[in-house]
Every structure is written in structure tokens, then in C-alpha cells.
Amino acid sequence: MKDLLLRGVKVVDPGGDHHDTETDILIQNGRIGRVGRRIPLGKAREVRIEGLHLSPGWVDLRAHFRDPGEEYKQGITNGLDAAAAGGYTAVAVLPSTAPPMDGRSGVEYLLRKAQHHAVQALPLGALTKGLAGGQLAELFDMQQAGAVAFTDDQQVVSNSRLMLLALQYVMNFDGLVMTFAQDPGLVLGGQMHESPLSTRLGMRGIPALAEETQLARDIALLAYTGSRMHVATVSTREGVELVRAAKARKLRISASVSAHHLLLDDGCLRGFDTDYKVMPPLRDQTHIEALREGVKDGTIDCIVSDHRPEDVEHKKLEFAQAAFGMIGLETCFAEANTVMKGRMTLRRLVERFCHGPRAVLGLPVPHVTEGAEAELTLFLPEQEWHLERNDLVSRSQNTPLLGQPLTGRPVGIISKGQVLLRSQQVGAV
């Protein structure tokens, strides 16, 4: 890569030597060559953008790339491109593909297809064979091949004995189980959050109780085993309280929330727009305020995209037949920043995108230090903008945020010796 000189950039690097400073940064041969004021340009390419901020690279813990099996919806390369556009230098990829990523070969397939991209793919191996909940998958083999954690995505392991065995088994190599807390029997046939609004709209509701009961079981199993567990996409007040209480008991638990559950509420469904149909469902303001407070006080460790691409044939249907999910890699930071701005500092918000996810997976934080390999995210936290179709890199564009005002925008990433910048943000440099 050609040398790059970032002029007057504000560094957001909690725990780093240059946190909260405005400085120049010279990138040479994929490394941070110099940090300081008035660095000579030399032969470097200069980037000077008013309000530009920089932090260690962000990590997303929950994205679906539909590869193998449904590449027409996304694909690995297109998914990684979308992640880069969203400011991520690494992204954890879900195993619910066709066939599922439940063995060494699936992990190796993902890593092989992603190896030359600037964004690092972090494979999430299936917890059970075929995501069927009947038998443990090849967990150790997948861990040896590069899997960073294990999950059945939104297929809940209903068999408590099997979940207990999974938590015990991964302790042999300090592995991590990611759980999705929605009791299948209470969710069955549900379309949206259970409330007076769901009754008025004539749609079967998904009660908050579905999350509470499943999560209570999983925490009880975690306490019994002493293992490690991550709770994916908490969506209710009760879920936040259960995680908070488990942390107070010093259990090895972490949790995430999707950005759209912080920004959007169930009232969005009044128009029956299927782009708002997600799982877990959008909740009401009582739950949303609890989620925001959980992010603020650290009960919730990280904010995730829960990126789920769907094509028109699976999304633009009658509400009951439409698939759950929305894309979120390109907009995750903007969504979170829009709603949490003024509620928490930018430093703490960046921690939910960088430090929190890395701590969950046991990954080091790449600080802004001279001589270190550059793994950086560039972003404009104050920029106000409206999402348009040409802003989206994802092959599928199932998002309800088109035309919506947002605050804060990623500019690009520097990672693995590559620079990926959004041209419309950088302009002439």
C-alpha cells in the first residue's frame, strides 16, 4: 500500500497513549510509522477531513453472509465489503448456512474465501450438528481450524442436558458458547412484540417472557458449569436485569444488543412494513430504555449489527410470510450513535464497538502506537446524513432506514496492509 498521512485526526483509543488527542498519523507499509503534529508529507497520500476521528478497528459479533447456499443474497466477499463500509476490521460470521458450518471444512471454507480481504472473517461454528439441537457439533475441531465461538444462531437448543454438555465441553479449551434467548414454544407463530399494539394490529405477539424464561435457564446452566457464555441480541428489560444480576454474581457472561433495537420500536410496524420484521422483535419504549441504560452502564458489552440480508422474494411478502431480519453492517454505528449521543460519551460508545467485542472473543486491542500494525477505523461522529440506496454496499438492501436521518458515519478502514475509504467521504485527497 502507498504511504498514507492522516492530518489532524482525533484519536479515540481508550487505554492507548494517544487517546483524546488531535494529531497527524503516518501509515507506512501497513504500520503506524509516526504519530505527532506537522509530520512532513513526503511521498505519502494525504487525507484531511474536518471532524475526522480514528479508533482501533471495530469488530462485529453477529453477521450473516448467506454463503454457502444463498450467495445471491450476499456472499462472503460482498459481506466483507459491507463490513468495511460500516467501519469494521473484523466480523464474526454466523454458521446458519446451507450446509451449516458445523465442522472443520466449513470453517476452512470461510477463512479461505476471506483470506485476502482487508476485513478479517471470524468464523462462528455451529453448536449442534446441522443446527438441529440433537447432537454436539465438532467443536474442538472447529476451534482448531479457527472458529472463535459456537452458536446455533436463532435455533434455540431446547434440550437442557445438551446445552449443559456444550458448556462443560468448551471448558476444555476455554471456548465460548453464544446463546439466543427466545423460548421456541412461547415464540411459536409470533410476528411482533406482544403488546396492546399487536392486538390492535391483529398480529400474534412474541412476549418478553420468551426471552426471560430461556435466558434464566441458560444462566442457571452457566452458573452450574462455571463456563463462558455470551447472550446475543438481548431485547427486553427482564433480559438486561438477568444479565446484570449474573455479572454481579461474577459469572463469566457477556451480552450484546443490536443497534436497531436501540433505535426502533414496535410502533414502526403500524404500516406493516416487513423491513421492520426482525427476531427478536422490536420492543416498546419501556424495554428500549432498559437496553439503552444497559449499554450505558456496561451491562451490555457490545452493540452488533445482526446483519441479515434477504432478497425481495423473501422480504416483500404478506407480513406473516416474510422472513425476519434486516441488514445493518453499513448503518450500525450511525444507528447507535444517533440514539446514544448525549446519553454516553463517544469514548464509551467506541468501546462497545471495539473493546467490548474483542474482550468477548479474547482478541487484543490494536492501539494507536508507533510501530504497531495498523488496524484502524476512520469515522465522522458528528456528520448528519440520510441513508440512500447508493450508500449501501450489500447485495440485499432490506433496511427500513432508507431516507432516514442519521448522525455519525464511518469513512473507512486501514487493515491487513490495505486502505478502504469511502470515496464520497474522502473526496479529492
Residues acting as catalytic residues: 306
Sign of CA dihedral 54, 408, 257, 396: negative
Pairing of strands 252-258, 302-304: parallel
**Which are the contacts of 388, defined by CB distance < 8 A and separation ≥ 6?**
402, 403
Chain centre distance of CA 26: 29
Rounded Cα distance between 2 and 418, Å, is: 9
Rounded Cα distance between 228 and 223, Å, is: 10
Q: Which one-letter DSSP state was computed for residue 315?
A: H
Rounded Cα distance between 401 and 389, Å, is: 10
Pairing of strands 376-386, 53-56: antiparallel
Rounded Cα distance between 93 and 100, Å, is: 12
